[in-house]
Structure 1
Amino acid sequence: MAVRKPPTERQRRLGAELRKMREHAGLSLTDAAALHGTDRTTVSNVESGRFGVSPDRVRVWSANYSCRDGAYIDALAQIARERRSPSTEWWDEYRHSLVATVLDLAELEHHASSLRMAQITHMPGLLQHEDYARAVFQEAVPTLTPDDFERKLAFRGRRRCVLDRPEAPECTFIIHETALCMRFGGAAVMRRQLDYLLEQSERLNVRVHVLPFAAGGFPAAASSTLYACGPVEQLDTVQTDTPVGSVFLHAQTHLANYRAVLERMEERSLDPDASRRFVREVAQRL
């Protein structure tokens, strides 16, 4: 028997959405199982992401829960379809060599309709020049083995392919002045990174906003945040880095709070044209 692959964050999200739908309908696991013609253990396993579910069953369960949001249901059915007919994506090559949260981040970026990212001390991963990324990984704790180092570097480079897709997501990057001034790898590497940042900022689907020191304080100053928009707002996801690894959030209160944080940061940032001028000025001082 083939080994069952553990669910991805995206697949766990499907189960979580079905659970929220059931709870919104005011049904217990036992009530839901009776409606679906199954047992409560099956419903629980689907909601936890341990078991997959077919697109047709997603639609039936949604109807049983009196959900009438067609776009939302279609998006959930698409996630179910991916699990039942999995295709091999580039990040699957790393499934046995990198932690699951790193793969989940690549999958999240791939499926997002748009991306908003805020970085304080590092350049956003999707906009990192290889030399800069190499310098960042050299500071990893614990120190990476040579094989792990090259593997992580290659993975970060391949993540950038999301910007080149025919239907690439609209990307907004908010970068604090701190990240422009921290010289990972020295002045020459940082100069190449800033030139690369300017080059990438000219993409039609990329907007870079610099948040200068002069803007003063701002919310979430100590964190790195990615807000990935799903096909419908209910399926938006926040990914944030912590000292113990990546955390994925999708409760509606969390999404609303992080939207507010990013909006306030963007309001205090320079517009894209002024941000490019600012980056050039920093580069000239190196």
Structure 2
Amino acid sequence: MPPSKLPPTIRQRRLGAELRRLREGAQLNVKAAAELHGTTQSRISNIESGGYPVGADRVRTLAYLYGCTDHHYIEGLVAMTGGRVKGWWEDYREVLPAPFLDVAELEHHASSMRIACGLHMPGLLQTPDHARALLRGVVPPYDPPKLEHLLSFRIKRQAVVYAERPTPVSCVIHEAALRMDVGGRAVAKAQLGHLLDMGEREGITIRVLPFGTGAYPSSGSGIVHFQAEVPELDSVHVDTDTFAGYVGAQPQLVMYRAVLDRLEEKALEPEESRGFVQALERHM
């Protein structure tokens, strides 16, 4: 598939959405924007849908035409350009759904991440045996080739925490996830040991939310906050029984930042959390 025909990535779609927001903020319709920029309406529409690769110069020009003077924000948009650069996750495009690839792309480009998990270990901190057991529990079941693709994909995503300059990751994990006997006693015990090892790595912070904490915000959700160098360009992935997808509008970002702040406040501090996990591992 030629680069021009590849579907837009989540970052290309977000860049287009931000340019559309700037245009609408300037009270310009697509026709007026095209006339100002000396291009066609279809070109503006394709840029805003993420379907047309846009370079740094064009982004700066459009921002100027739309009256944006926030230099850091503009440079944040520029950092999202570069055409259809192929990341390792693109090797899976023919075998895995696009949302899986979106996660890997956002993890790769995030400056840091905040994660909250209620019933599952964060994917970035799972052992291969734990991940395999989870994937085997899906209904309807994956066929063996699909399961192996998903497993290798999940493990490759973990490169961001093993890199020479790892991406900082802060996790709040509910006690329910820690006590879940995924894959049997040996696999579950090894997963807790792995969690303890990962908590010793640079940039990884683990907090436990015990049962005794009681009710907590977004208790039915899994939340991943992908932080960008420019906060306005952050993204949040939310996974519930009724919705799984990405949000990036400012009111939504403010809400989920507040939810994560609240969860971190209610959770045990990192050192106390480590002792909590060690106790569970000893008694498993």
Q: TM-score, normalised by structure 1?
A: 0.95
The residue type paired with residue 80 of structure 1 is: T
Structure 2 match to 1:107: 105
Structure 2 match to 1:73: 74
**Aligned partners of 1:120 and 1:175 also within 8 Å:** yes
Structure 1 match to 2:272: 274
Instruction: Please give the per-residue CA displacement for 1:6-35, whole angstroms capped at 9, x wherever unaligned.
Output: 001111000000011111222221221121
Quickly say closer, same or farther: Cα 1:244–1:154, change in 2 above 3 A: farther
Structure 2 match to 1:153: 151
Instruction: Please give the per-residue CA displacement for 1:66-85, whole angstroms capped at 9, x wherever unaligned.
Output: 1111121112112221x25x
Moved more, 90-99 or 236-245: 236-245
Q: Distance in 2 between matches of 1:256 and 1:245?
A: 19
Q: Match of 1:172, SS?
A: strand
Structure 2 match to 1:8: 9
What are the within-5 Å matches in structure 2 for residues 1-286 of structure 1?
A: 2=2, 4-81=5-82, 83=83, 86=85, 88-243=86-241, 246-286=244-284
The residue type paired with residue 139 of structure 2 is: V
Q: Distance in 2 between matches of 1:244 and 1:125?
A: 20
**Aligned partners of 1:174 and 1:265 also within 8 Å:** yes
Q: Aligned Cα RMSD in Å?
A: 1.4
Structure 1 residue 167 displacement after superposition: 2.7
Q: Match of 2:12, SS?
A: helix
- Identity between Structure 1 and Structure 2 (%): 45
Q: Distance in 2 between matches of 1:64 and 1:164?
A: 42
Structure 1 residue 245 displacement after superposition: 7.1
Q: Distance in 2 between matches of 1:67 and 1:57?
A: 14
Q: Point out where structure 1 has 5 or more consecutive residues left out of the alignment.
A: none
Q: Distance in 1 between matches of 2:207 and 2:194?
A: 15
Structure 1 residue 278 displacement after superposition: 0.3
> Which 4+ stretches in 1 moved above 6 angstroms?
none
Q: Distance in 2 between matches of 1:168 and 1:29?
A: 41
Q: Distance in 1 between matches of 2:210 and 2:102?
A: 31
Q: Distance in 1 between matches of 2:244 and 2:215?
A: 24
**Aligned partners of 1:117 and 1:174 also within 8 Å:** yes
The residue type paired with residue 190 of structure 2 is: R
Quickly say closer, same or farther: Cα 1:245–1:221, change in 2 above 3 A: closer
Q: Distance in 1 between matches of 2:242 and 2:39?
A: 38
Q: Distance in 1 between matches of 2:144 and 2:235?
A: 33
Instruction: Please give the per-residue CA displacement for 1:44-65, whole angstroms capped at 9, x wherever unaligned.
Output: 1111112221211100000011
Q: Match of 1:79, SS?
A: coil
Q: Point out where structure 2 has 5 or more consecutive residues left out of the alignment.
A: none
The residue type paired with residue 63 of structure 2 is: S
Moved more, 40-49 or 210-219: 40-49
Q: Match of 1:131, SS?
A: helix
The residue type paired with residue 40 of structure 2 is: D
Q: TM-score, normalised by structure 2?
A: 0.96
**Aligned partners of 2:108 and 2:160 also within 8 Å:** yes
Structure 1 residue 241 displacement after superposition: 2.1
Moved more, 224-233 or 165-174: 165-174
Q: Distance in 1 between matches of 2:196 and 2:122?
A: 13
The residue type paired with residue 203 of structure 1 is: R
**Aligned partners of 2:168 and 2:204 also within 8 Å:** yes
Q: Match of 1:80, SS?
A: coil
The residue type paired with residue 269 of structure 2 is: D
**Aligned partners of 1:25 and 1:65 also within 8 Å:** yes
Instruction: Please give the per-residue CA displacement for 1:254-275, whole angstroms capped at 9, x wherever unaligned.
Output: 1001001000000000011000
